């Protein structure tokens, strides 16, 4: 009986360590791409506000977005965030099209696609992070990015 208890506690400790490694890997990956996501969200906010400086400096905004996309592609992340990263990069590509678009109706359509893509990427991230578990246990996650 003593050996069975020792075996069960060892298996439980093993799964706890695996869970911690999984969440630690996700947090490290999110830290790698956090700045890129934040910068793209700031540009999206400026485009949504229809600020004149976006229309005046289209080339600058497009080059910034392409730099963000390039940086995100080259960021060292694990395979765990591949789908999230792909969704965010497609959102950035749509944002480049929205910045370069001069027709207001087409720009609104592109912004709706960007919002949908951002929503889907957030759902993917919530699924990975098992948000309910985190909220119940009150884990402190400063790298968790909410769009």
Residue 145 lies in a domain: no
- The pair phi, psi for residue 90, each rounded to 5°, is -65, -35
Number of domains composing the chain: 1
Residue 28 lies in a domain: yes
Residue 133 has pLDDT above 80, yes or no: no
The pTM for the full model equals 0.75
pLDDT the model gives residue 44: 86
Q: What percent of the chain has pLDDT over 70?
A: 86
Look up the domain containing 40 and give its range: 2-137
Residue 32 lies in a domain: yes
Residue 147 lies in a domain: no
Mean pLDDT, rounded, for 19-47 = 86
Please write the tens of the pLDDT for every residue from 100-128.
887 878 888 988 999 999 889 888 888 88
The burial of 81, by beta-carbon neighbours within 10 Å (0-12 exposed, 13-18 middle, 19 or more buried), is given as buried
Residue 56 lies in a domain: yes
pLDDT the model gives residue 77: 85
Residue 70 has pLDDT above 50, yes or no: yes
């Amino acid at each position: 009986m003593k050996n069975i208890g020792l075996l069960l506690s060892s298996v439980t400790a093993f799964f706890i360590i695996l869970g911690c490694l999984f969440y630690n890997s996700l947090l490290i990956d999110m830290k790698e791409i956090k700045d890129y996501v934040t910068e793209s969200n700031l540009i999206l906010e400026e485009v949504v506000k229809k600020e004149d400086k976006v229309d005046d400096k289209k080339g600058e905004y497009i080059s910034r977005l392409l730099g963000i996309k390039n940086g995100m592609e080259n960021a060292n992340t694990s395979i765990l965030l591949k789908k999230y990263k792909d969704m965010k990069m497609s959102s950035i590509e749509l944002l480049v099209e929205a910045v370069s678009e001069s027709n207001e109706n087409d720009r609104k359509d592109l912004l709706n696609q960007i919002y949908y893509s951002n929503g889907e990427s957030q759902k993917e991230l919530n699924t990975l992070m098992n948000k309910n578990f985190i909220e119940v246990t009150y884990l402190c996650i400063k790298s968790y990015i909410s769009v």
